[in-house]
Amino acid sequence: MDARTAAALTAAPDEAGAITARLADQLLGVSRRLGRAQRRLMEPLGITPAQARLLRTISHCEEPPRMADLAQRLEVVPRAVTTLVDGLEERGLARRVPDPDNRRVVRVELCEEGRAALSALRTARREAAADLLAPLDTEQRAQLSELLDALHGACTPSGA
Amino acid sequence: MDARTAAALTAAPDEAGAITARLADQLLGVSRRLGRAQRRLMEPLGITPAQARLLRTISHCEEPPRMADLAQRLEVVPRAVTTLVDGLEERGLARRVPDPDNRRVVRVELCEEGRAALSALRTARREAAADLLAPLDTEQRAQLSELLDALHGACTPSGA
DNA sequence: TATTGTTATACTCTATAACTATA
DNA sequence: TATAGTTATAGAGTATAACAATA
């Protein structure tokens, strides 16, 4: 435990807010770097991090998901998904397919190129993360994952 | 430790990359939510999260920092600082002051309104963080802070 | 009338490149 | 020539609001 953390914990209750705010800064700072690394590594592939995330989300679905499903999973408004899917379609990585049972619904399927891109993206993603997480050993990563998971669960009560 | 984490740790070495990538997702996901909460809570104050961060950074400096100092501290290019300081000046929270010793240099000072805004912002920021971090007890927060600090130190060798 | 997705629009955050003023 | 900051521009990511098509 570093000095500031230790001091905060043993000090007045007002300091609880301070350590919490500091935690927020650390979280955002680490994410900024991670995002930069991802963008840099994915750029040669012609895919943005948000598109990559969408691609993975689609691939994790049993059947081609609806636009609304994707919006919910990505925790964004449906309008944001429209733009992302547009990008994937332009690059020939995914395609919109009409739902025969409900003509309002649009489903999104991966193309072959999309599946191919996924493995290249996995490499890029892991490299970006590995770089950032290098200072942590395996046990520390597991610990970090566990702590973050607790946060995720709390804010996404509907079993993510 | 959750099931996925445990499985990843005890499985083939290839899984080390998988858990690392998952960690990246968790980190980015938590940050997205935190950022949203911050923006929502700061909006009534007419200040964006990045402006708030700049305001705090200025307040942590012993003497009015140069634009270049701020860029380095915020880990952004100098051009990005220009826009942020423009925003603070428009709102009367900070002002540019010429450096008498070097006419190329611009220093940034907080105005009285800026100092006043800082306490309101502190409240907003803590509220946003407290909300997100509610699932963690004090010890877990310290643990998380320690882990994130290790990451920060690694990527910012020049003592941040 | 409610739902699904889209068009239209806007804003935050950040980057690169070219330029200006100063040293 | 090197440095500090800016103007100009671009693009990623995301939001709200109004609307069309369908149910």
- Mean pLDDT of all residues in chain A? 89
Question: Is residue A154's pLDDT more than 70?
Answer: no
In a domain, B73, yes or no: yes
Is the CB of residue B82 inside 7 Å of nucleic acid strand D? yes
Using the structure block, give the residue that is written with the tokens 């984490």.
B5
pTM, full prediction: 0.88
Strand C, CB < 7 A, residues 73-102 of A: 78-79, 81-82, 85, 96, 102
Instruction: Using CB atoms, pick whichever of A126, A130, A132 lies closest to residue B151.
Output: A132
What is the model's pLDDT at position A156?
40
In a domain, B42, yes or no: yes
A5 vs B157, higher pLDDT = A5
Is the CB of residue A48 inside 7 Å of nucleic acid strand D? yes
The radius of gyration of chain A's CA atoms, rounded to the nearest angstrom, is 19
In a domain, B9, yes or no: no
Split into its structural domains, chain A has a count of: 1
Q: What is the 3-state secondary structure (H, E, C) of A43-91?
A: HHHCCCHHHHHHHHHHHCCCCCCEHHHHHHHHCCCHHHHHHHHHHHHHC
In a domain, A157, yes or no: no
CB A94 within 8 A of CB A59: no
What is the model's pLDDT at position A159?
32
Backbone angles phi, psi at A156, to 5 degrees: -130, 70
pLDDT in tens, B49-92: 999 999 999 999 999 999 999 999 999 999 999 999 999 999 99
* Over residues A94-104, mean pLDDT: 98
Nucleotides of strand D within 7 Å of the protein's CB atoms: 3-8, 12-17, 21-23
What is the model's pLDDT at position A7?
54
pLDDT band at B158 (very low <50, low <70, confident <90, very high): very low
* Over residues A45-62, mean pLDDT: 98
User: A124 exposed, middle or buried (CB, 10 Å; 0-12, 13-18, 19+)?
Assistant: buried
In a domain, B143, yes or no: yes
Instruction: Using CB atoms, pick whichever of B27, B125, B154 lies closest to residue A34.
Output: B27
CATH of the domain at B39: 1.10.10.10
In a domain, A82, yes or no: yes
Least confident piece of the model among A8-22, A134-148, B139-153: A8-22
Q: Which domain holds residue B134?
A: 32-147
Report the percentage of chain A scoring pLDDT > 70.
86
- Mean pLDDT of all residues in chain B? 89
* Over residues A95-117, mean pLDDT: 98
* Over residues A130-150, mean pLDDT: 93
Question: Is residue A85's pLDDT more than 90?
Answer: yes
In a domain, B17, yes or no: no
**DSSP-derived secondary structure for B1-13:** --HHHHHHHHS-T
pLDDT band at A125 (very low <50, low <70, confident <90, very high): very high
Least confident piece of the model among A36-40, A143-147, A156-160, B14-18: A156-160
In a domain, A136, yes or no: no
What is the model's pLDDT at position A14?
67
Q: How many CB atoms lie within 10 A of CB B21?
A: 22
What is the model's pLDDT at position B10?
54
